[in-house]
Structure 1
Amino acid sequence: MKRIFKFIEKYYCIIILLFVFIALSYPSSFNWVVSDYADINILNLLLSIVLFTMGTTLKVDNFIRIFKNPKEITIGILAQYFIMPILAFILASIFSLDAALTVGVILVGTVPGGTASDVMTFLAKGDVALSVSLTAVSTLLSPILTPILTLILVGNQISFSPIDMFLSIVQIVIIPILLGLMLNYKFPEFCMRLREYLPAISAIVICVIVAGVMGANKQAILTSSIVIMVVIIIQYFLAMALGFIIGYLSGMDRKSIITIAIELSFQNSGLSTGLAKTHFPNLTAATVPGALYSIWQNFAGSIMAYVLNRHFDDSD
């Protein structure tokens, strides 16, 4: 059984492409992902599962690190919630994206860092503890900052309720993380054993989310995929490059620089698709950028992590 989970973890970037192929070939096979069951939004439930698994890997020590290393944490969070939203807004404006795609791209920029960044940081020989801390802190700040930043960037053009977005982020993100944190506190040995399976479980859940969004928006993706893919790729590489530059100019060591770059470019794209579907129901294509970003960041990120892993060792 462990071998299967390790296989999924190792070949995640290929598996997600397989899910996308199935979703585009047989869109109805993943309709259940974007539907409701007994008044429960399945997509948001799946997101909560991913965040719960993240919570089970966290300890209070991860938050104590904030006070021990305020420089790296402060720079990382400021970059996350300043550079990414502005970058998203500029790209949406330059490429004259329509309202739906603009919302989607901006949500990708205003959501917190993604949990996959921790895995990529490990593979790229970055500072895993710093990555976990940055992901945790940016996620805990997201109920306040994501609605505010989204309102600033799109509120004048598109009506939505930042308060409702705040409440949904608390439900989708904060509560599952706190439950996972409590489980790890009460049953640390159980969570330690569970940790071997969590990356693969999260990977499959993310694949299902992406497939569901891709299948539901097949037509929109096929008609606008070239432009939006260009935007997504530029958004990813600019975020990565700016992360390296910020880390270097801040005088960080190599491991921290790699971590900041990965953390800045890896977004919680699943959350952006969930927020788009929940709070912009009339803009169905708003879920597309998040789904495409998820595919690209994991595909390109895996290659980047492999390259960095081959060119550096722990003694550098």
Structure 2
Amino acid sequence: NIFFGLRIPALYRAGRFKVILIAVVISLVYPNSFKWVLSNYNGINIINLLLSIVLFTMGTTLKVDDFINVFKNPKAITVGISAQYIIMPLMALTLASAFSLDTALTAGLILVGTVPGGTASDVITFLAKGDVALSVSLTAVSTVISPILTPIITLLLIGNQIQFNPVDMFISIIEIVIVPIIIGLILNYKFPNFCEKLKDYLPTISSIVICLIVAGVIGANKQAILTSSVIILIVITLQYFLAMLLGFVIGYLAGMDRKQIITVAIELAFQNSGLSTSLAKTHFPNLSQATVPGALYSVFQNFVGSILAYVFRKYQS
């Protein structure tokens, strides 16, 4: 029962959401405690380095079979990936316009919509009795193609409002996401026994890293969050639940079975918010609040996801 380095019992015994919540509280009370997360060290962006560690752990748990499954279930994969990169970005743009978000928050929300699915979706899918193989494949495929689609879609949606270089974003995603995953894949292929033992430690590593990223962003934007938290929380809540609802509708209309429908719904709702935060920090340096939506979305999806997993599991039992 291990998916992308997250051992289910260990994850919930450790109380990942509680750890994140504690980090958030500390960052609000002592906002300078995690200031170093958003800094550079010898020309290296710390937040990008931290995220690369998470993606490396993901790579060490991936196998070639996870990609071969794409050809075994092409319809479900096509529907899921299409929804991921069409519905989520358009929904983010619609919500940003409907609530008249400023440029920075709009950019951050768009990035939450254009990044690939988050690895936590595979854990929640397992707990919800969904199609875990489909979830793993959806996350893997959406992540691998993100260097191309994320910059292009972001450019199409907000390129007329914000100046940024999509090629630079492409390179960033290759460096932050693809390279660490490939290294992890190679390590898993060459030393499978070592990676199997390593999995016991990966939940702790990735949880700590995510906590640091969230705490760093929230601490740096404490005042902005306190003054605009109600609006942005409403937007993030709508984004999450609308994604879940549309996932159910799309899965049903596509003729999927119950497990696949639940999987697509979860996959849409769970985004790689850490990546959106990292990209916002790197490519929108003059828009500090652009990192806020991703950080808040990370906290929200971890909290609500564990509750929904219980609801789905109970409904199917």
Fold match, TM over 0.5? yes
- 8 Å Cα contact 2:34-2:219 kept in structure 1: yes
**1:214 equivalent in alignment to 2:218:** yes
Per-residue CA shift, 1:130-167, capped at 9, x if unaligned? 11111110001110000000000000111000000000
Which runs of 4 or more aligned residues in structure 1 lie more than 4 Å from their structure 2 counterparts after TM superposition? Answer: 7-10
Q: Distance in 2 between matches of 1:195 and 1:47?
A: 18
Partner of residue 283, structure 2: 279
Per-residue CA shift, 1:28-49, capped at 9, x if unaligned? 1101111111111110001000
Aligned equivalent of 2:126, options 110, 122, 126: 122
- 8 Å Cα contact 2:11-2:203 kept in structure 1: no
Structure 1: which 5+ residue stretches go unaligned? none
**1:79 equivalent in alignment to 2:99:** no
Q: Distance in 1 between matches of 2:204 and 2:237?
A: 25
Q: Distance in 1 between matches of 2:310 and 2:17?
A: 12
Secondary structure at the counterpart of residue 145 of structure 2: helix
Partner of residue 67, structure 1: 71
Q: Look up the equivalent residue of 1:147 and give its one-letter code.
A: P
Q: Distance in 2 between matches of 1:7 and 1:195?
A: 12
Secondary structure at the counterpart of residue 29 of structure 1: coil
Secondary structure at the counterpart of residue 28 of structure 1: coil
Partner of residue 203, structure 1: 207
Aligned equivalent of 2:26, options 12, 22, 28: 22
Aligned equivalent of 1:34, options 35, 38, 41: 38
Partner of residue 146, structure 1: 150
Greater CA drift, 41-50 or 301-310 = 301-310
Q: Distance in 2 between matches of 1:285 and 1:73?
A: 34
Aligned-pair distance for 1:304?
0.3
Aligned-pair distance for 1:199?
2.5
What does 1:1-316 align with in structure 2 at a 5 Å threshold?
6=10, 10-313=14-317
The Cα RMSD (Å) is 1.3
- 8 Å Cα contact 1:266-1:297 kept in structure 2: yes
- 8 Å Cα contact 1:244-1:258 kept in structure 2: yes
CA 1:288–1:222: 2 relative to 1, 3 Å: same
Aligned-pair distance for 1:258?
1.0
Aligned-pair distance for 1:201?
2.0
CA 1:137–1:240: 2 relative to 1, 3 Å: same
Structure 2: which 5+ residue stretches go unaligned? 1-6
CA 1:143–1:130: 2 relative to 1, 3 Å: same
Q: Look up the equivalent residue of 2:266 and give its one-letter code.
A: I
Aligned-pair distance for 1:7?
6.1
Q: Distance in 2 between matches of 1:166 and 1:228?
A: 27
Identity of aligned residues (%): 72
Q: Distance in 1 between matches of 2:277 and 2:131?
A: 28
Greater CA drift, 197-206 or 240-249 = 197-206
Q: Look up the equivalent residue of 1:78 and give its one-letter code.
A: S
Alignment length (residue pairs) = 310
Q: Distance in 1 between matches of 2:143 and 2:48?
A: 15
- 8 Å Cα contact 1:9-1:200 kept in structure 2: no
Secondary structure at the counterpart of residue 243 of structure 1: helix
Q: Distance in 1 between matches of 2:85 and 2:217?
A: 25
Q: Look up the equivalent residue of 2:72 and give its one-letter code.
A: K
Aligned-pair distance for 1:254?
1.5
Greater CA drift, 196-205 or 95-104 = 196-205
Q: Distance in 2 between matches of 1:285 and 1:9?
A: 33
Give the alignment's TM-score, normalised by structure 1.
0.96
Per-residue CA shift, 1:65-99, capped at 9, x if unaligned? 11111011100100000000000000000000000
Q: Distance in 1 between matches of 2:113 and 2:40?
A: 27
Q: Distance in 2 between matches of 1:7 and 1:84?
A: 27
